[in-house]
């Protein structure tokens, strides 16, 4: 288990830095279509922000509660990704052929662009949850058991 860090410098900087890291992660995630980045990197940065909060404030802090709740989302990212593929099949096309997403008023290229955004969100959720989950597995098994069972 990880205890909160003693140094006030680390705590203050962490308080300031974690939101910045999270916003940068979201920026990388959604800017992936226009520049370097994308779902994988964005998800890792989002996960790193949450890991940072656990490393600085400890497992017990109220700031880490969201990180613990995130663990229940294991598999949601996969569900989003495969769900987009399934929606394409419902729309009458092949699996993951975004041109068949049934959204009225959008031309084919915009549908594919939307499909890319949705699947990137799926990848980001999956990667972020997995990163946090591995860090928790390595650091705090008792706490994990309590938070999931109780």
CB closer to other proteins, 61 vs 99: 99
Instruction: Figure out which of the listed residues 10, 17, 26, 41 binds other proteins, where binding follows CB under 8 A.
Output: 41
The rounded distance, in Å, linking the Cα atoms of 36 and 114 is 18
Task: Classify 103 as helix, strand or coil.
Answer: coil
The rounded distance, in Å, linking the Cα atoms of 90 and 1 is 46
The rounded distance, in Å, linking the Cα atoms of 127 and 129 is 6
Task: Classify 30 as helix, strand or coil.
Answer: helix
14 is an interface residue for other proteins by CB under 8 A: no
147 is an interface residue for other proteins by CB under 8 A: no
State the minimum distance, in angstroms, from the CB of residue 47 to other proteins: 7
State the minimum distance, in angstroms, from the CB of residue 12 to other proteins: 21
Q: What is the DSSP letter of 108?
A: H
49 is an interface residue for other proteins by CB under 8 A: no
State the minimum distance, in angstroms, from the CB of residue 68 to other proteins: 13
Contacting residues toward other proteins, per CB under 8 A: 28, 32-41, 44-45, 47-48, 51, 55, 74-75, 77-78, 81-82, 85, 95-96, 98, 109-110, 112-113, 115-116, 119-120, 122-123, 126-127, 129-131, 133-135, 137-139, 141, 144-145
């Amino acid at each position: 288990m990880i205890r909160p860090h003693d140094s006030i410098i680390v705590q203050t900087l962490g308080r300031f830095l974690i939101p910045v890291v999270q916003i940068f992660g979201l920026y990388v995630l959604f800017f992936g279509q226009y520049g370097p980045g994308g779902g994988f990197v964005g998800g890792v940065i989002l996960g790193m922000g949450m890991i940072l909060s656990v490393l600085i404030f400890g497992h017990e802090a109220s700031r880490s509660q969201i990180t613990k709740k995130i663990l229940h989302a294991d598999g949601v990212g996969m569900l989003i990704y495969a769900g987009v593929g399934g929606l394409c099949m419902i729309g009458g096309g092949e699996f993951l052929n975004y041109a068949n997403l049934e959204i009225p008023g959008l031309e084919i290229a915009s549908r594919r662009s939307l499909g890319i955004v949705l699947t990137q969100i799926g990848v980001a959720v999956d990667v972020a949850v997995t990163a946090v989950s591995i860090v928790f597995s390595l650091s705090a098994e008792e706490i994990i058991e309590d938070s999931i069972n109780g």
